[in-house]
Structure 1
């Protein structure tokens, strides 16, 4: 079995599957890994206590953190030494049932699980709130079109913006902004 992708989802899936199967994880560039627990506390407790979940996206530290988002709780390098798991380079093509890796290798497999993330598509929006590349133009979720907001985007305001524990803060800010803005409003 091959898992293509080594972000949080791919790593967690590979960890689970490696308990009962031999798994190969094809990864682009290795991502830093943080343990789920550190010194008896959940890593998110530490990140919160250190203020790292509230680092502003546009700050120098925020820009640096956005470049290499860590995998939390699953260390593939460690697993590759202790379980039925091996690491392979990025997949760049296929040949029949084989996957071709960046270094020219071939991975013969019956099963491939693609965990390569996603790219949102907002082009269906019929309002002028997107860049030429199709990304939302916003300031903390607020667009230039009254009443059109975004919430839950990665690094919308802070690292916490796309996490379940933090998206509510951004939503509250957007509601407050909307209610304090002049002009007509429709309420449900």
Structure 2
């Protein structure tokens, strides 16, 4: 059989390797489910197209750090045990933490093997075609996350060739960009932090602001994440969230753990020379146009910021907690008008960084488990197709599902369902998320 042959008959073939479980993706989700499969004595293999946890070194800029406190790093059997539980690990520290987890799990890992197709077999189970050949499996877990294809708008094709363009996953540092001003498009966590990184490096920064909300870093004596954890927010399942499954489409709040942690206040950046715009709308020659949304975007981000703090105020009052007095954020800058145009040449812009996210790409999984937008439908990672699971997606179950804080609980739950099916037991699917 040729490597990667997708024409193998579905009938059983003793020459084809078989595993009880195939795990697709060797990031923190893939190694977390491996941890629990090993504990249950379940045969499995983890396929990773690159190197395990490679995204953390290849898709993060040099000054990247966590935006949640280190104490939230709770991978299976591998809690953060460093000297700064309330600090924010930097890129090198995160990689070291993950490398230690990889060694501890010692998963049956096959790096450099890409999964090209998974399809059901007529006799039961699945045929898994990889770049290194074909295997069969009783069950399959997709742990490759939902951030696969970088989003870059088609208008980028019409920009002058002299403009250096890159996606957020390619950005490393200010020194790696050509001399000149930089336009950052998108103000989610990556966009806001990259804009800050460039701003602190002394670069002239233009930022196209989207609809991302923001939150305080510290409030009334504690990190806001600590308050929200005490309030039970991070244990709230998606079905109890006011937005239900719609929360999975939300943009994350922007804040930073840099230099010990602080707010990211775009208004303050504006007072220091950063130039802000609304949503990117079009391109006319060398002039970009923007929707008149800057004022409303800043106001909405501040509304969310103050709303989170007000919820903390209520919690403090109800519990009778001694804490510093409350406060309300007041804007330190207001645009005179919504800017609607930016002449790239006139402003000396030589680089554009696209920070508008990723699209999922599960085309390799041939199973009826997706909605019309191509997103998986599941309940806590369990799909309506027996033996097909997802792990590591944002809000798979709770806020922490795609993060170091919640993957343990999710992996344990999915492993339990895998074991039940392997034993011939069943558990009804409560809902399709």
Q: TM-score, normalised by structure 1?
A: 0.84
Distance 1:156 1:107, change over 3 A: farther
Aligned residue among 67, 71, 78 for 2:268: 78
TM-fit CA distance, 1:106: 2.2
| Alpha-carbon distance in structure 2 between the residues aligned to 1:172 and 1:98 | 52
SS in 2 for 1:18: helix
Give the 3-state SS of the residue equivalent to 1:170 in structure 2: helix
Moved more, 61-70 or 90-99: 61-70
Distance 2:218 2:191 in 1: 20
Counterpart Cα distance in 1 of 2:369 and 2:357:
24
Quote the Cα distance in structure 1 between the aligned partners of 2:243 and 2:415: 24
Which of 327, 342, 359 is residue 106 of structure 1 equivalent to?
342
Asked whether 1:132 is paired with 2:372, we answer: yes
Task: Map 1:1-188 to 2 at 5 A.
Answer: 1-19=182-200, 20-29=202-211, 31-61=212-242, 63=244, 66=247, 67=250, 69-73=252-256, 74-81=264-271, 83-103=272-292, 104-108=340-344, 109-183=349-423
> Following superposition, which runs of at least 4 residues in structure 1 exceed 4 angstroms of deviation?
none
Report deviation, 1:96. Answer: 3.9
Q: 1:127 to 1:43 in 2, by over 3 A?
A: same
SS at match of 1:137: coil
Q: How big is each residue's C-alpha offset from its partner over 1:154-181, in whole Å with a ceiling of 9 and x where there is no partner?
A: 1111111122221222111111121122
Name the TM-score, length of structure 2 as normaliser: 0.39
**Alignment CA distance shift 1:149-1:64 (3 Å):** closer
Secondary structure of the structure 1 residue equivalent to 2:357: coil
User: Are the structure 2 counterparts of residues 107 and 156 from structure 1 closer, same or farther at C-alpha, using a change threshold of 3 Å?
Assistant: farther
Superposed CA RMSD = 2.3
Q: Which segment is superposed worse, 146-155 or 60-69? A: 60-69
Between the aligned partners of 2:343 and 2:354, the Cα distance in structure 1 is 14
Gaps of 5+ in 2: 1-181, 257-263, 293-339, 425-433
Residues 24-79 of structure 1 deviation map (CA, whole Å, 9 limit, x = unaligned): 110233x3211223344333222211111111112143539925642233222232
Contact 1:97 1:110 in 2 (8 A): no
Q: Which runs of 5+ in 1 are unaligned?
A: none
